[in-house]
């Protein structure tokens, strides 16, 4: 979290000119300036996605402080989804501050929604934890991690309790489309739910 960015091949710390979003990757032609090793293209596409999120938020009509709030939410959802897809983890260092940020956004910009947001955070966590415990009791193994429950709590803090079913519906539909496109169904395979939850929270917060 707090360490210096470093080349994944040689391990040497990267300077400011190596870390300019999009531009550094293009100027360096996708290679480390220090050792010449190829840079994983995932970094470039995440930066493209971050730019796309900002453009999407602006195109949806958000302005001023709400636009910055939308960008902060979108970038955090993107980060969590990427980490979960790669590592199958949803770190507390991102999910817990996202809960506080959602409540702070409501308190500062939409005070009438604060109670609903607080209830959304509580219902999101309790609901997914109950679902996870029920699944473990029935199947004898984990189906949802605590990270997913904290992630849904963060979603509830941004959209409110009344819209949590919509978040879960959007996430489930996108996850189902993803599973159908894979054309492979293995009940032992672990599919991270974080990226789909992120899509659900983002779409519902912008348009519902």
Mean pLDDT along residues 132-158: 92
Q: Average pLDDT, whole number, for the chain? A: 93
Predicted confidence (pLDDT) at residue 7 exceeds the cutoff of 90: yes
How far is 58 from 107, CA to CA, in rounded Å?
A: 22
Alpha-carbon distances, residue 172 vs 80, 161, 166, 175 (angstroms) = 17, 17, 10, 5
pTM: 0.92
Judge contact between 192 and 78, C-beta under 8 A: no
Confidence class for position 180, pLDDT limits 50, 70, 90: confident
pLDDT tens digit sequence for 61-80? 989 999 999 999 999 999 99
């Amino acid at each position: 979290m707090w360490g210096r960015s470093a080349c994944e091949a040689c391990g040497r710390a990267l300077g400011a000119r190596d870390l300019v979003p999009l531009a550094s990757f293009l100027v360096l032609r996708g290679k480390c300036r220090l050792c010449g090793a190829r840079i994983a293209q995932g970094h470039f596409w995440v930066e493209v996605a971050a730019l796309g999120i900002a453009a999407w938020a602006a195109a949806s009509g958000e302005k001023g402080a709400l636009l910055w709030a939308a960008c902060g939410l979108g970038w955090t959802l993107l980060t969590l989804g990427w980490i979960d897809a790669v590592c199958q983890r949803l770190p507390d260092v991102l999910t817990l501050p996202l809960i506080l940020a959602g409540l702070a956004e409501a308190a500062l910009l939409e005070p009438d929604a604060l109670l609903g947001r607080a209830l959304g955070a509580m219902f999101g966590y309790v609901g997914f934890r109950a679902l996870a415990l029920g699944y473990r009791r029935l199947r004898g193994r984990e189906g949802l991690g605590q990270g997913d429950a904290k992630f849904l709590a963060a979603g509830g803090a941004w959209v409110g309790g009344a819209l949590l079913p919509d978040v879960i519906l959007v996430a489930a539909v996108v996850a189902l489309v993803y599973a159908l496109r894979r054309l492979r169904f293995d009940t032992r395979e672990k599919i991270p739910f974080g990226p789909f939850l992120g899509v659900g929270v983002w779409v519902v917060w912008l348009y519902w």
